[in-house]
Amino acid sequence: MLFEKKLGERFDIYCKIFPMFKKVLKFLWRLTLLLLLFVFVGLFFPKLTMLLFAAPRTFTVEDVPAERVAVVFGAGLLRDGSAGPVLRDRVETAVKLYQQQKVEKLLMSGDNRFVEYNEPEAMRAYAMKLGVPDEDIVLDYAGRRTYDTCYRAGSIFQVRSAVLVTQSFHMARALFLCNWFGVEATGVAADNAYFRKVSRLYWNVRELFATTQAMWDVAVTKPLPVLGELEPITFE
């Protein structure tokens, strides 16, 4: 009898606890769905929006409409200060545009916040090595990020339309930002070199967060990049 009594008491406890447990599980499930929705809206929706915007504005070197200026975005350097593989790919594509008379000037925009780190100069050196004369290269030393490059292209260098040169994973954000800042831009993807799958995966995942940051910047924070005197690009 004592055993049956204890068993009955435990059964009563389980009957009370189990509905509570079900409620907790249901709450956690709804919370998970809500978090997933926030992740989708915060990361994937901005990316999808920019990809749809960029698709009709992205061309090959042969098909892109001619413009007077190509904007080449900076990327990492090697330890000796020369252009890294990603940056070389961008410069090589810009040089092809120049050689095929698709553009007249190359605006090389990159990071130079430290004396020993100078993306624009590395880009110029490589472009000149490939045959572009120095007088057709313009350097922007304050293109610390894509937002800054696009902002300064319009406000400092007075560029009103341009061809953007960067890799596919970065193109949608670059096109969105430059057009947002009044530079009517098309793009040519610099996808000539092969990069490891792990590198491409890392860049694409990082780009999800960068895309969300770009949306936040233009809609909410609206930061001002490094500015200065006007340096309009001149043509003969």
At 230, is the pLDDT very low, low, confident or very high (cuts 50, 70, 90)? very high
Q: What was the pLDDT predicted at 21?
A: 58
The string of pLDDT tens digits covering residues 168-222 is 999 999 999 999 999 999 999 998 888 888 988 888 889 988 999 999 999 999 9
Domain at 55-221, CATH from 3.30.1490, 3.40.50, 2.60.120, 3.10.180: 3.40.50
Q: What was the pLDDT predicted at 115?
A: 85
Q: What was the pLDDT predicted at 183?
A: 97
DSSP string, 22-89: HHHHHHHHHHHHHHHHHHIIIIIHHHHHHHHHHGGGEE-TTTSPP-SEEEEE---B-TTSSB-HHHHH
Nearest to 66 by CA among 100, 104, 103: 103
The string of pLDDT tens digits covering residues 84-136 is 999 999 999 999 999 999 999 999 999 998 888 999 999 999 999 999 999 99
Q: What was the pLDDT predicted at 116?
A: 87
The string of pLDDT tens digits covering residues 22-36 is 666 566 666 666 666
Q: Which two tokens stand for residue 171?
A: 């193109």
The strand pairing partners of 83, in sequence order, are 77
Domains in the chain: boundaries: 55-221
- SS3 of 220, please? helix
At 3, is the pLDDT very low, low, confident or very high (cuts 50, 70, 90)? very low
Q: What was the pLDDT predicted at 235?
A: 86
The string of pLDDT tens digits covering residues 35-62 is 666 666 656 778 888 989 999 999 999 9
Q: What whole-number distance in Å separates Cα of residue 218 and Cα of residue 51? A: 17
Q: What was the pLDDT predicted at 63?
A: 95
